Structure 1
Amino acid sequence: MNLLLVEDDPQIVEALSMSLARLGYRVDHMPQASADLPERVADADAVILDVGLPGDDGFAVCRTIRRHSSIPIIMLTARSDDIDTVAGLEAGADDYVVKPVSPRVLDARIKAVLRRQAPAPVVVPDPLATIGSGLRVDRRAAEVTRDGVALNLSPTEKRLLFALSDHSGQVLSREQLLELAWNQDFLGDSRLVDNAVQRLRGKIDGDGADSHIETVRGFGYRFRAIP
């Protein structure tokens, strides 16, 4: 995987380039934005962009990249102010990391933004399907039953269950679930998902010890069809 690192501090460049190379990345480096920025971006899979650059700062460079590319962008900064975080996201960044950051944490952030950008597999849902342990969904009637008894689920809880069960076994991020069940993009409040999952678990899991919805720490949620 090719990364474009836009950073003017030679020590940070050397440390990150060596560490990321050991993790399997190929790192291209620019100390600041230049005329060939679009070409360098086109050759990369993701951009690691420092905020405090000479000339145009990272926010300006991010906006420039966004005019011609949807490539994942992770901004690096020595500042942890919420204002800077919001400014970075509003400029078009996908994530915002405060320095110093460990290479493995940065690796995880890179993989996370790539997962968010990748479209979920196209699934043609079965309108009437048993999804495990007596649970059955009927999309045509917008109804969920367990052992033949209708469950009292809200419309949002039904959409959430449909989204999770349609991708059974696949980890879906909170951002993907916001889009699938609430039609909200990445800047939606991910706490909506956590709260809705907690309520949904209480309604579909019955008295069993195992939950159909597994929390995958640091990534999101996965539906399991329990026999």
Structure 2
Amino acid sequence: MKNKFKILIIEDEEKILNVIEAYLQKEGYDILKSTEGIEGLDIFKRESPHLVILDLMLPGLSGEEICKSIRSSSDIPIIMLTAKITEASKLEGFSLGADDYVTKPFSPRELVQRVRAILRRSYRGKGPLSDILSFSDNKLKIDIRKHEVSKDGKVVNLTPNEYKVLLILASNPGQIFSREHLVERAFGIDYDGFDRTVDTHIKNIRYKIEDNPKTPKYILTIYGVGYKFGG
């Protein structure tokens, strides 16, 4: 039975990663995974998981740096997984914004229980019950599995980049995103374009999903800051 939560595991020891994946999949979670820091951060920005299990000692980009980057734009739950067992290390992890701290070696069953507890606490009353986001009495729908958007029952033809921008905003209604954060979340940290490219995507998305693009009700401009989803 699927419970609709997506969990991202960033762990460079493949045996540990595979064990965690097996236990969480048995519980019905969708699993995203990476053995490298930069790749893991790109997956986070692209897929918008509901929880991250993050090893601190990673090649390419450290767990601490990843945690800081995630916390700059999201309050998603983070469980740090590490061999560092000193009190100072744990305090540092919590100061960076971690929600829990698990030291190696650990019990996979205990980790599963911690995941359950944090998801229950973080998403109480607002859990991802469906793979379809719907707004305005189903007038606008986003089918995450199919990567498909529809308005008034008709499929809207968005480009892949337009879809990424819309999904990030619609998955976080009310949260304000700067142009820079939208670029990082939608296109990745290595994107060579300009922040203002987002404005073009927003204009095109509004033209396709809004009843009146000049007075939008879904994608709202927060002047001097960025954009938020108001649906």
For normalisation by structure 1, the TM-score amounts to 0.49
For the pair shown, the structure with the greater C-alpha radius of gyration is: 1
Q: TM-score, normalised by structure 2?
A: 0.48
